[in-house]
Chains A and B, each alone.
Chain A
Amino acid sequence: MAVDTLLERITDHANRPDPYPLYAELREAGVVRQTDGSYLVGTYYDIAALLHDPRVSSDPRNLAPPYREVVPEAGQLSFIRLDDPEHHRLRGLAMRPFGPPHSPHRVDAMRGQIASITAELAEALEGRTRIDVVEDFAYPLPVTVICRLLGVPREDEPVFREWSAAIVDVADITPGQDPGERRTAGEQALTEMGRYLVDLAEGRRGHPGDDMLSAFVNEPGGAFTREELAATAVLLLVAGHETTVNLIANGVLTLLRHPDQLDRLRREPDLLPAAVEELLRYEPPVQIRRRTPLANIDVAGVTVPKGVPLILVLASGNRDPKRFPDPERFDPARTDNQHLGFGGGVHLCYGAPLARVEAQTALGALIPHLGAATLLRDPPAYRHNAMLRGPRHLPVEL
């Protein structure tokens, strides 16, 4: 098959269960223009360099006209789709109640809560012989955690679940498809979810709780505009759970496929943090990120022109044999594991510390239950999304 259809094959849902042979093909092919005009990059060092390259933009408004879509105004873009200095300003404001230097203990202080939420979910599994790891565990845990953190009522989950699905759907990569209808649905979901979250936050102006929405509206001197608050809150709520669900589900799937390593982790729980890093390398939830060059830039000997879509296949870089010895092997004790699972550079995943704690806690609680577990369907049914890859359901017999 011709190389220029690689992107179509990667995004083809039929290849979702195992895109890794395609990634190997991509690394072999180098940086190649696809039929839709975009350039695919799949080698570790090239991706790492591009993530740190100031000539590479995250802002979709920098796409050249044939690729440019209708994009919102600056105030409506979340910081994940902005460049410095706006990105820096908004990410800094979003960081104030979440991490250092102003809130250095926020994530660590949630360990107890995360553990008790996990324990409740694990308890509900007792006595059951069949579970869906996604529905029964991997989804409810991060949703409950992000709701507590942001101050979103947990019982509103059925409402924002649909919005979240539409938003994630529009962010996916779907060459050759008419994005019109999806985009309209996504825009509408963004608007509605933004309004919902801003209303929640505004209700706490003047009498804050210990949640991040409260912190955002009670920042002395004011911080976010209404539009910025909406975009930031939507980003945190959506990215705060859609990724971790996949990390936990992919983790359970990988461990059940490697019973020797599962057994080892049961015996050596101290390996769990390293095992989570290995999962982020081996089966990362975020497989692909999009960027735009601001100048003609040289990538592995190919000139990528200014303004064209640049597609970084992070999950391919994670299995680059030039960076990771024996990269197709799942090794929870791997050292020097500087994976691309959280991206890199200034956009390095904002929620990474929280995701790590959640995944470590979740897998630590699940592993004792998985002793005699078997996968009822392998490969499982995958979500449609190629960028944000994970099982839709993961039925397991305990």
Chain B
Amino acid sequence: MPRDLDQGRIVIVGASLAGLRAAETLREEGFTGSLTVVGDEPHPPYDRPPLSKQVLLGKAAADATALPARRGLDADWRLGVAATGLDAAGKRVLLADGESLPYDRLLIATGTRARPWPDPAQAALDGVLTLRTADDAARLAERLAAGPRRVLVIGGGFTGSEIASACRERGIEVTVAERGPAPLVGALGGTLAKLAAGLQRAHGVDLRCGVTVTALRGNGRFTGADLSDGDRVDADVCVVAMGAVRNTEWLADSGLAAGRLGVACDAGCRVFDAYGIVTDDVFVAGDVARFPHPLFEYQMLALEHWGNAVAQAGVAAHNMVSPGPLRRPHLAVPVFWSSQFGVNVKSVGVPSFSDQVVIAQGSLGERRLVAVYGYRGRVTAAVTVNMAKWLEHYQGLIETAAPFPPGPGAADGHPLVTEFPVPSNVPDPRGLLHGPTVALTGHLPDRRLTLVRPGG
């Protein structure tokens, strides 16, 4: 790399998966300058997927999920201090402790936080929790270990569903309240979400769909909640799993294209300013980024996926130390997974970027299947339930824009198309209680709208 790119000062704001992987890549690619990593939590980088699974089951301690460092980083870690602002012209990151950090190049990797219960007084009741950080997981695991009579989970997205699964595995009664028609509907669409609903009920979850929680009750301690259908749930613990909020407030006065939907960037992770002009010294990666993806009609995607954080951080870091012609685009096909209620769910592509779905292998009855999603006649996603080893094939179909529905001839004894394609029933995300883990932030597919509000 040219002399000027392997030296200087790089600041990474965000000390989680994307921040750590970017820091490692910078050093691997030969960056010898000063490297500072800022994180608002006091902990060194840790892994989040186990927090809603093994930790809640009591199989791992919340403070035992530290991410392994692949190499010595020779970095200045500023942990337990939040970034509060960005002076883009003066090239300084402002910190909560009053200090500021000068940089030559900046990586924004501030991720998301749990969306809180909107009523602060109710949210403050003892027993009302969220799950995003290791500290959150430790608190919730402690509550579950104490044997509550019932847990109320508000929101049936991946986090909410995994919490409910952990509760049932521990023999704890649990109610899930979801505003949409089924759990996971935002990620999988209404058709496959029926399977998720069936799984939850088969495992004894008291699943309430099409309702909202109107109030949390309690006198100092949480005792129950009122539902919009007039019913009431008595419980000792309430987990608010209403999706995530992107940590962009600190960029409000930065002049960058940062807002509710994330920090907008080009395919090379370079952040746009508020006028849509690409910056050359500010990069973004991970959950907080929104970027155009050619496989999805250049829709601006914001992905809350582990794999995306890793891949995008690698590309961002590479581009931070590479001259223009050697920069790479972030074109990874989105992948995510979840384990809940004894099944492994894995997805490739963007299921919510679809209008139809078909069961290509396996069957709903066996709870072992591949669902393939299409949009206007081409394959855009596939979701496996306990059949993840086939996913690579479908990734190939997505990458090559193969026609939808895929042709016949699967090796599992069924014809490839066991059912005719049916509408995938992807709901408008505004109708969900849990936020979607993939946000299509542009205007396609055409049933969606982006609501632009002043200051929003």
| B409 touching A294, Cβ below 8 Å | yes
| Alpha-carbon distance A58/B413, docked complex (angstroms) | 12
Q: Are B413 and A348 neighbours in the complex by a CB distance under 8 Å? A: no
Q: Which residue of A lies closest to B363 (CB)?
A: A85
B354 within 8 A of A: no
Question: Which of B362, B368, B412 has the most chain A CB within a 10 Å cutoff?
Answer: B412
- Chain B residues 400-426 with CB under 8 Å of chain A are 407-413, 416
**Complexed CA–CA distance, A388 and B176 (Å):** 54
* Cβ A295 vs Cβ B390 within 8 A: no
Contacts of A306 in B (CB 8 A): 409
Instruction: Pick from B368, B389, B409: contact of A295, CB below 8 A.
Output: B409
Name the B residues within 8 Å of A293 (CB-CB): 409
A85 touches B392 (CB 8 A): no
Q: Number of residues in A with C-beta < 8 Å to the partner? A: 23
Question: Chain A's nearest CB lies how many Å from the CB of B415?
Answer: 10
Partner of B413, one of A48, A52, A83, A297: A83
**A186 to B409 Cα, complex, angstroms:** 31
Interface pair A54/B360, CB less than 8 Å apart: yes
B366 part of interface (Cβ distance < 8 Å): yes
Pick from B368, B370, B389, B407: contact of A345, CB below 8 A: B389
Q: Confirm or deny: A36 has a beta carbon within 8 angstroms of a beta carbon on chain B.
A: no
> Do A54 and B412 form a contact, CB below 8 Å, given A49-B396, A85-B366, A295-B407?
yes
- Give which listed residue, B360, B361, B409, contacts A84 with CB less than 8 A: B361
How many Å lie between the Cα of A58 and that of B412 in the bound state? 11
B453 contacts A by Cβ under 8 Å: no
The digit string for A282-299, where 1 denotes a CB below 8 A from any CB of B, is: 000000000001110100
CB distance A346 to B409 under 8 Å?
Answer: no
Interface residues of B in 355-400 (CB under 8 A from A): 360-362, 366, 368, 370, 387, 389-390, 392-393, 396
For the complex formed, measure the closest distance between the CB of B324 and the CB atoms of chain A, giving whole angstroms.
24
When C-beta atoms are compared, the residue in chain A nearest to B360 turns out to be: A54
Bound CA–CA A57/B396 (angstroms): 18
Q: How far is the CB of A44 from chain B (nearest CB, A)?
A: 13
Pairwise interchain contact B396-A84, C-beta atoms closer than 8 A: no
Q: How many A-B residue pairs have CB under 8 A?
A: 59
Kindly provide the distance from the CB of B63 to the nearest chain A CB, expressed in whole angstroms: 23
Contact B366 A54 (CB under 8 A): no
Of the candidates B368, B393, B408, B411, which one forms a contact with A83 in the assembled complex, judged by CB atoms under 8 Å apart?
B411
0/1 per residue, A57-96, Cβ < 8 Å to B?
1110000000000000000000000011110100000000
Q: Are B407 and A346 in contact (CB-based, < 8 A)?
A: no
Number of interface residues of B (CB under 8 A): 20
Q: CB within 8 Å of B: which of A38-59?
A: 48-49, 52-59
CB distance from A292 to the nearest CB of B (A): 9
Given contacts A84-B361, A85-B366, contact A52 B411 (CB under 8 A): no
A339-384 CB contacts (< 8 Å) to partner B: 345-346, 348
Is A52 in contact with B366, judged by CB distance below 8 angstroms? no
Separation of A293 and B409 alpha carbons in the complex (Å): 9
**Is the CB–CB distance between B393 and A53 below 8 Å?**
yes
Q: Return chain B residues, CB-CB under 8 Å to A294.
A: 409-411
- Contact (A346, B389) CB under 8 Å given A57-B411, A84-B412: yes
- Please judge, given known A-B contacts A83-B412, A84-B412, A295-B409, whether A52 and B392 are in contact too, CB under 8 Å: yes
Chain A nearest Cβ from B16, distance in angstroms: 25
Q: What is the distance, in angstroms, from A42's C-beta to the closest C-beta of chain B?
A: 19
In the complex formed, the residue of A with least CB distance to B392 is: A52
> Is B416 touching A52 in the complex (CB atoms < 8 A)?
no
Given the complex, which residues of B lie within 8 Å of A295, measured CB to CB? 407-409
B411:A84 contact, CB within 8 angstroms: yes
CA distance A57 to B409 in the complex (A): 10
Instruction: Report which of B362, B368, B389, B409 forms a contact with A55, defined as CB distance below 8 A.
Output: B409
Cβ–Cβ < 8 Å partners of B370 in chain A: 54
Q: Which residue of B lies closest to A344 (CB)?
A: B392
Q: Specify which of A55, A83, A86, A345 is in contact with B392 (CB 8 Å cutoff).
A: A345
> Are B408 and A54 in contact, with the CB atoms below 8 A?
no
**Complex Cα spacing A48 to B412, Å:** 19
Least CB distance, A324 to chain B, in whole angstroms = 18
Q: A49-B396, A57-B411, A295-B407 are in contact. Are A85 and B368 (CB under 8 A)?
A: yes
Docked Cα-Cα span, A72 to B173, in Å, equals 50
Q: What residues of A have a CB within 8 angstroms of the CB of B389 in the complex?
A: 52, 345-346, 348
Across the interface, name the chain A residue whose C-beta is closest to B395.
A52
Closest B residue, CB atoms, query A295: B409
Q: Which of A48, A55, A293 has the most CB of B within 10 A?
A: A55
Expressed in whole angstroms, the Cα–Cα distance for A200 and B391 within the complex equals 39
Interface 0/1 of A242-284, CB less than 8 Å to B: 0000000000000000000000000000000000000000000
Q: Which residues of B contact A59 (CB under 8 A)?
A: 411
Docked Cα-Cα span, A57 to B416, in Å, equals: 13
A57 surroundings in chain B (CB, below 8 A):
411
Contacts of B362 in A (CB 8 A): 84-85
Residues in B whose Cβ lies below 8 Å from that of A55: 407, 409-411, 416
Residue in contact with A85 in the complex, picked from B396, B412, B416, CB distance below 8 Å: B412
B410 proximity list for chain A (CB < 8 A): 54-55, 294
What's the least CB distance linking B379 to chain A, in Å? 13
Q: How far is the CA of A295 from the CA of B411 in the complex (A)?
A: 10
Tell me the chain A residues, 87-121 only, with Cβ under 8 Å from chain B. Answer: 88
Q: Which of A49, A86, A297, A345 is within 8 Å of B390, CB to CB?
A: A345
CA distance A85 to B387 in the complex (A): 10
How far apart are the CA atoms of A76 and B361 in the complex, in Å?
25
User: Are B413 and A49 within 8 A (Cβ)?
Assistant: no
B407 partner residues in chain A, CB cutoff 8 A? 55, 295
Q: Are A52 and B390 in contact, CB atoms less than 8 angstroms apart? A: yes
Contacts of A49 in B (CB 8 A): 393, 396
A85 in contact with B390 (CB, 8 Å): no
Partner of B416, one of A54, A56, A88, A348: A54
A53 contact set on B, CB distance < 8 A: 393
Shortest distance between the CB of A301 and any CB in chain B (Å):
13
User: Which of A84, A293, A306, A348 has the most chain B CB atoms inside 10 A of its CB?
Assistant: A84
B370's closest neighbor in chain A, by CB? A54
Given contacts A85-B412, A295-B409, contact A52 B368 (CB under 8 A): no
**Please, how many angstroms separate the alpha-carbon atoms of A140 and B144 in the complex?**
52
Residues in chain A within 8 A of chain B (CB atoms): 48-49, 52-59, 83-86, 88, 293-295, 297, 306, 345-346, 348
22 A-B contact pairs sorted by A residue (CB < 8 Å): A49-B393, A52-B393, A54-B361, A54-B390, A54-B393, A54-B410, A54-B411, A54-B416, A55-B416, A56-B411, A84-B362, A84-B387, A84-B412, A86-B413, A294-B411, A295-B407, A297-B409, A345-B389, A345-B390, A346-B389, A346-B390, A348-B389
Q: A59-B411, A83-B412 are in contact. List 13 more A-B contacts (CB 8 A).
A: A54-B361, A54-B412, A55-B409, A85-B368, A85-B413, A88-B368, A293-B409, A294-B410, A294-B411, A295-B407, A295-B408, A295-B409, A306-B409
Q: What 9 A-B pairs are tightest by C-beta distance, nearest first? A: A295-B409, A84-B412, A55-B409, A54-B410, A83-B411, A52-B392, A52-B393, A294-B409, A346-B389
Q: Give B residues with C-beta under 8 Å from A.
A: 360-362, 366, 368, 370, 387, 389-390, 392-393, 396, 407-413, 416
